[in-house]
Structure 1
């Protein structure tokens, strides 16, 4: 039961990292936190952009029907007793005003290593994993977009390399978790009609931090988490030169988990980016996600 609860905690935290409606930020890696040899997670999310915040922090409410649905498959496989590999494959449908588009989002590959194994009982020491992740530009970026409202931009569209850690701790029926990551996105060249010709775009650095907790009763868990993200502004050189503004926002999530058995669970979550923090240069969304996870024990 304890190992299943650990899995539900981490399963819940991924919903916060993935809450952004329209491709911003860094996707949480597919990781095994319990005593399993493999796991497969499928999720379906629906999000709507409700507000836009300018670089100076000024808010405006929007009603341009900017919505997206994402079906994602996350898989992870144990390679050694403490080492694992994973993959994330998102398929995205976007609608902005009267424009629609669907296709593959940005895929991600990751390696994880158990840096703090739980070999014996400790009243204070958490269980911890470190990870490396590469994000592949398998979706168009805004600089590839041909739609007027960039509905065909289904992700960031840049190579990114990131590293991070996640820690979990259970105290009876209560649990806590914390995670953080730092990533670097790399420059790409585009022949962009919107930018007036050939440009080289350099995204820069970004990071995310998440804290959360929950309460369990039998096979049911109710939790909440808060995540902050930051992305450097884009630097554009070529047909036009510009230095973009940085992006930051916070996402609050409430999550309900239910274990269907020793090897499966379902999760329903709601994520809102309009409640906490001082966002800048951000499309703020509200997102609902339904997930199913299947695990195979060692």
Structure 2
């Protein structure tokens, strides 16, 4: 990196890339597009090359801009980590802790997120908490981009640069609703179920779908609530976490299909960006979730 480069310029650069353009980055940066343009021109002057192009084709990074972005995110992450660490040494821990989780975890007894947040907020009253619901891919990307500090979820594919700490396994069953033709059927065969219209998840690969016994899906969702809606329509079958579907089962609206053939468990993990495990707030939240997990009943 060029000696003497202004970290403010790097933060503006990262924000512009995050929002894919000058205009979209205005609100976060609280700057006009002309001011952003001036700062970006200064950055390009400092580094000695063009980092991005704008035009009718939209916003795009140059090849060197891509490399600069990667290094920028790494450096800014280390600077933020250092600032948080020095604050903790002074006993003046503040700032923001951004946590990312999958949807429907509020009904999961194995993940005491609400309890952990309550204890954490009492221990660190000066910290602002930001809780986001994201897909597995978005959680990992958020950690790598330093938009998230900690994440909890199921991750079919692991990402380099992240550390995964197993927490527990979540039970998943295949469900149909009381409006589906097979709800009243007995002696269902696995081969027949495999031919039914099934809902897939956007982060499932074809290999993942095949592992569960299906050749293809006829609908795709990004959230469990969307999956539940499609299943309740009576036109589809699909997977749901046991804890999330339980109340609908008790109401007689959902039924598990062939649990021994189609049931499976998802490994939930707590994930951090590599190199951040020493930070006091992350250590505290990790310990709260791990301790609460050990005390929960499955």
The TM tier, using the shorter chain, reads: under 0.3
Q: Which has the higher helix share?
A: 2
* Higher gyration radius (CA): 2
Q: Which has the higher strand share?
A: 1
